[in-house]
Amino acid sequence: MQIQYTQSPAETAQMDTAALRDNFLLSGIMRPGEVTLTYSHYDRVVIGGAMPVGSALVLPLPEELKANYFLERRELGIINVGGKGQVLTDQGTYSLDKLECAYLGRGAKDVSFISVHVDDPAQFFLLSTPAHQAYPSRMMTKAEAAPVSLGDASTSNRRTIYKYIHLDGIASCQLVMGLTVLEPGSVWNSVPPHTHTRRMEVYFYFDVQPEHRVMHFMGHPQQTRHLVMSDREAVISPPWSMHFGVGTANYGFIWAMAGENQEFTDMDPQPIATLR
């Protein structure tokens, strides 16, 4: 399991492109026939991907967790961005189409992943946080997420938001998770830019065509930085960092948060005109 350490605004302000990518960008999350995991010291989240091809993939137990099984002291959010797949546990099996979500509460065991069709494998994005209480494991479809359309074509940010794990959705200890899909002709995400000191966030970009890229903006609002991101890459956003982005074409992204507040609307806007 890869380990990612925390960085302060002062350290980040001195980083060049390579250093920014080394400290905040996660590539190679979806690898055929593998489970990949990264442990971040921001709120001790584990970020990962599972892409089963053929046989089932078992959620491994990294030695660094010092646990008897992965979810002994953790909870796990899972969103599928590939073909139809299944998440198997001792508590039940959850069948997920593309853009659907499963939540596994503390105590779930024997977690594995399979694809229904080998030629169209599932691609499960994983975000795990420490958990002090066991909430019921369950799944949610796109329709059950009550998708909401926001934005406007005139500002190139017409988008649909699916909220899965949050105060009014799937209950969890501290995990908040969902996704956003931009319509053709729209490219801006998370406008207005914002921070939320009470929680960190991970963005996982998907359905970015090979010839296109997403420019993800991060950093202190008066000391901005950017990362050029490809399909199926993730970026770690520290609690002090603002975050928003623009693509060269429309795309989708998963947003996953951990911290002390689970209110989706809890954010501190950073008006565009104030950024530097």
**Looking at the DSSP assignment, which residues form a beta bridge with residue 177?**
165, 256
pTM equals 0.96
Query: In this structure, are residues 140 and 116 in contact, taking their beta carbons and an 8 Å threshold?
Result: no
- The mean pLDDT of the chain is 95
Our count of domains for the chain comes to 1
CA–CA distance, 162 with 145 (Å, rounded to integer): 6
Backbone angles phi, psi at 106, to 5 degrees: -55, 130
3-state secondary structure of 253: strand
Whether the pLDDT of residue 269 is over 90: the answer is: no
What would the mean pLDDT of 114-143 be, rounded to a whole number? 97
* Chain CA centroid to CA 225, Å: 20
CA–CA distance, 102 with 146 (Å, rounded to integer): 16
Q: Say what the alpha-carbon torsion angle 26, 15, 270, 99 is, to the nearest 10 degrees.
A: -10
pLDDT per position as a tens digit, 14-65: 999 999 999 999 999 999 999 999 999 999 999 999 999 989 999 999 999 9
CA–CA distance, 10 with 271 (Å, rounded to integer): 22
Backbone angles phi, psi at 19, to 5 degrees: -65, -40
The token duo for 196 is 């939320």
In this prediction, residue 84 carries a pLDDT of: 98
Closest CA to 148 of 172, 127, 169, 128: 169
DSSP designation for 242: -
What does each C-alpha distance from 213 to 230, 231, 260 come to in angstroms? Answer: 5, 8, 32
Q: Are strands 35-40 and 2-4 parallel, antiparallel or unpaired?
A: parallel
Q: Say what the alpha-carbon torsion angle 29, 33, 39, 43 is, to the nearest 10 degrees.
A: 70
Q: Which amino acid is at 10?
A: A
How many CB atoms are closer than 10 A to CB 139?
20
CA–CA distance, 254 with 11 (Å, rounded to integer): 27
Assign residue 224 the CATH number of its domain: 2.60.120.10
Range of 250's domain? Answer: 2-274
What would the mean pLDDT of 220-239 be, rounded to a whole number? 96
In this prediction, residue 119 carries a pLDDT of: 94
Identify which has the larger pLDDT, 156 or 146.
156
* CA-based R_g, the chain, Å: 18
> What is the CA angle 252-197-228, rounded to 5?
35
pLDDT per position as a tens digit, 160-205: 999 999 999 999 999 999 999 999 999 999 988 988 889 999 999 9
Percent of the chain with pLDDT over 90: 91
